[in-house]
Amino acid sequence: MMFSRSEVGDLSSCNWHQVQWDVQKVSNFWRFIGSVEAHQNNYFTKYYGKAIIKFVKYLTDLKGIALDYGCGLGYLSECLLEVGVECSACDFSEQSVNLVNQKFHNSSL
């Protein structure tokens, strides 16, 4: 969801600071995003995974084994499996890995 400046209002009084990302902060961020249902629809590959697959198939034969590195909730993995590509998935977030394992545990894909 995008907001215009007029909708956001005056932010000049906010105490902005640059975040110094480290392993723990990255982990906490993705744990939060993956656990809040409202954010689970904000993954790029949820909306564009099928288009990515279509584009890659246009460029080359899509065969072999694919690695979905940074798989998040497994949206791209699902698209790969749907077109018959063997796929392994990994993610920095242990919670995301657990969610993907649950998602595909009893899957026919």
Q: What is the pLDDT of residue 1?
A: 53
77-82 long-range contacts, CB within 8 A, separation 24+: 77/104, 78/49, 78/103, 78/104, 78/109, 79/45, 79/49, 79/50, 79/52, 79/53, 80/53, 81/107, 81/109, 82/109
The least confident of 14-18, 46-50, 95-99 is 14-18
Q: What is the pLDDT of residue 24?
A: 87
Q: Is the pLDDT of residue 3 over 80?
A: no
Q: What is the pLDDT of residue 45?
A: 92
* ∠ Cα 80 56 71 (to 5°): 40
CATH architecture of 47-109: 3-Layer(aba) Sandwich (3.40)
State pTM to two decimals.
0.72
pLDDT band at 9 (very low <50, low <70, confident <90, very high): low
